[in-house]
Amino acid sequence: MINRPDLLTNIYIYKFLKLENHYPDFELFQPLPIYNLEELSYPISAFYFDKSLSLLFVGLSNTSISGKINNYFSKIFSSNKNSAENSQNNIPGFLLIYNIIKNNSGSLHFELIYQKSFTSEVSSINFYNSKNMLCVGLNNGTVAIYRLFVNESSKITKELIEEMCTVKAHKKKIVGICINFTLGYVYSTAREGCLNISEINYQSLMKSYPVSKKEISCLVYDETWGRIFLSDEIGSIWIIDIMTNAVYFFYLLYLCLATATSSSSTSQSDT
């Protein structure tokens, strides 16, 4: 147990076992924050960090009741120049992009290089550094794709970001986005039971595949093998091979394994 890093990184277990008395020379490995980004005024709803380019993508959502009310009335009175439609308090979602710079002293500095507002809260962010493609999903079911142009110093600036397409792919909150560059398609899932396929060039939804009768809660894409992993709200796992359209289904995988193990132990004890 002493050699288990998952236990040694837990300060409560370390104190409960009084390891400092038995191993006074042992140094507890406890992860410590190296920087706090405290200037954000709204809750973070999504973020993505790319180590190779030292870029941090942050999605913010103005989920306050007052913000939603202000946004609602600002749309109604949008023709009024004196309205607060341009007020930051009325904007539901933001995308922020930071360059992470390491100073000579070793400390980190976050440089805000890009900011964009949306008419809905940001719910999903994914970035492909091999193609410099950024995917942003919104609560209203919209998928936005951007291309980032990297300069010689492996940095990007506001002028080097291009919006490629915006597709209203779903009716509900986006929970995952991925791109297959071989086929040129965008795959997305929302709080619905389907996997939707959109085309970047035509900026339109091509097809919707029903996957589950329950809401999809998560999407993970294996770019190497071209497989999409989906899970729904009742614990089902779906694996979709987008090259062959083969679908593999695992229903409550963990629960089934636990039940089988429990049944096996009971039968052995009875014998």
Note down the domain range covering 117: 41-136
Q: Is residue 228 part of a domain?
A: yes
Q: Clarify whether residues 271 and 211 are in a common domain.
A: yes
Q: Is residue 185 part of a domain?
A: yes
Contact 167, 143 (CB under 8 A): yes
> pLDDT tens digits, the chain, 271 residues: what are they?
456 666 656 667 667 777 667 666 555 555 566 677 777 778 889 999 998 888 899 999 887 655 555 555 444 444 444 444 445 556 788 999 988 888 777 778 888 888 888 989 999 999 998 888 999 999 999 999 998 877 655 566 656 788 888 999 999 999 999 998 888 889 999 998 899 999 887 788 888 888 888 889 899 998 888 889 998 888 888 888 887 766 666 555 444 444 444 444 555 555 5
Q: Which of 88, 119, 136 is the last residue of a domain?
A: 136
Q: Clarify whether residues 68 and 132 are in a common domain.
A: yes
Quickly count: other Cβ atoms within 10 Å of residue 186's Cβ: 25
Q: Is residue 155 part of a domain?
A: no
Question: Tokens 């009325």 map to which residue?
Answer: 90
Each residue's pLDDT tens digit, 42-51: 888 999 999 8
Residue 11 has φ and ψ, to the nearest 5°, of: -65, -30
Q: Clarify whether residues 257 and 189 are in a common domain.
A: yes
Q: Which of 136, 152, 186 is the last residue of a domain?
A: 136
Q: Which residues contact 249 (CB under 8 A, 6 or more apart)?
A: 236, 237, 238, 239
Q: Clarify whether residues 3 and 89 are in a common domain.
A: no
Structurally, how many domains does the chain consist of? 3
pTM: 0.70
Q: Is residue 67 part of a domain?
A: yes
Instruction: Could you list the beta-strand ranges (E) of 13-141.
Output: 44-50, 55-61, 93-102, 108-118, 122-128, 133-138
Q: Clarify whether residues 106 and 86 are in a common domain.
A: yes
Q: Clarify whether residues 122 and 54 are in a common domain.
A: yes
Q: Clarify whether residues 46 and 22 are in a common domain.
A: no
Q: Clarify whether residues 11 and 85 are in a common domain.
A: no
Q: How far apart are CA 127 and CA 97, in angstroms?
A: 12
Q: Is residue 179 part of a domain?
A: yes
> In 3D, which of 193, 49, 189 has the Cα closest to residue 126?
49
Q: Clarify whether residues 187 and 262 are in a common domain.
A: yes
Q: Is residue 90 part of a domain?
A: yes
Q: Clarify whether residues 12 and 53 are in a common domain.
A: no
Q: Is residue 65 part of a domain?
A: yes
CATH number (domain holding residue 176):
2.40.10.480
Q: Is residue 144 part of a domain?
A: no
Q: Clarify whether residues 179 and 220 are in a common domain.
A: yes
Q: How far apart are CA 189 and CA 66, in angstroms?
A: 29
Q: Clarify whether residues 46 and 70 are in a common domain.
A: yes
